[in-house]
Structure 1
Amino acid sequence: MAGLPAVIAAGEPLAYAALRIGYGVTLVTHGIPKLLGLPHGSMADPMAGSVRLIDTALGLPFAAQIGAAVAILEGIGGALLAAGLATRPLAFAFALQMVGICVALGPTYPWIDRGIEYPVILGLIGIALATRGGGRFSLDRRLFRAA
């Protein structure tokens, strides 16, 4: 089994890139429907659903503007994150977004059955990406020599 640690070590940068890319693409699939006014899953109008959640569940002012910022963050920021560009600030922003989603959904859907387990894990991935950076196979590293 002496070769297994070497295989794991060699594969780690690819696995980390796959995690970052998968995370970014997942977020893009939530942002693009909002930006383009397309249905998403069971939501006929995901932008309206986001704005309603921001307004009623979180009680924040400027819900429409915050909803637009979230859609841009998910749609464009998710694509940039998948490419590994501005990884740390974008991943941190996504982690904060997931905290907001947990606060908004937690009282209604605490766990399982449409619960907050997915925003919790997405938030934790965001924290991991924010603290570690884009990794070896990222535009951050290629352009700025930053991991």
Structure 2
Amino acid sequence: MNNTQTRLLFPGLRGFYNWAEPISWLLVRLTAGLMIIPHGWPKLMAGIGPTAAGALAKRGIEPAEPLAIVLITLETLGGLCVALGLFTRFFAAAIFIEMMVIVWAYWPKFGWTGPGYEYPLMWGLVMLAIALRGGGPYSADRMLGKEL
């Protein structure tokens, strides 16, 4: 890949763009992580049994209770960790897998006609990008000096 920088229409903005680039990654990671938590919080508050029965077993997804634990963990702890940039690659990759399972379950329905695949597909791809990129410069992973 060519590492030369593009010529800016307004070259005076290069300093701003150089400053904003790592901040933009923080914004993406923080938003993606925090947007997952509201999907897990009600499951956490309901508990493993009701989540297993309501979100999984009624759709024929078994073994429901162990999978409920996985969902609750990924959508609460995982979302928080992605937002903080802690164990970022692991949790982002795991949430990506969860989202792809949801996409598979709803394919080919589109969201305007009922539960569809496009929302989990978008968040899954965002999580894949985060897993590939890592936490970035403003992350707990970077502060710890270790990353998966």
Q: TM tier, shorter chain?
A: 0.7 to 0.9
Amino acid at match of 1:123: G
Cα distance, 1:63 vs structure 2: 1.4
Preserved contact between residue 51 and residue 68 of structure 2 (Cα < 8 Å) = no
Q: Which runs of 5+ in 1 are unaligned?
A: 39-44
> 2:17 matched to 1:12?
no
Q: Which residue of 2 aligns with 1:112?
A: 111
State the partner residue of 1:87: 88
Unaligned stretches of 5+ residues in structure 2: 1-9
SS at match of 2:135: coil
SS at match of 1:68: helix
The CA distance in 2 between the partners of 1:47 and 1:80, in whole Å, is 23
Change (3 A) 1:32 1:78: same
Deviation at 1:47, TM superposition (A): 5.6
Once superposed, what is the RMSD of the aligned Cα atoms?
2.1
Correspondence list, 1:53-92, <5 A: 55-56=59-60, 60-92=61-93
User: Identity rate of aligned residues, in percent?
Assistant: 33
Alpha-carbon distance in 1 for matches of 2:146, 2:69: 32
Per-residue CA deviation, residues 86-121 of structure 1 (Å, 9 max, x unaligned), is 0001110011001000011114xx223132111111
TM-score with structure 1 setting the length: 0.82
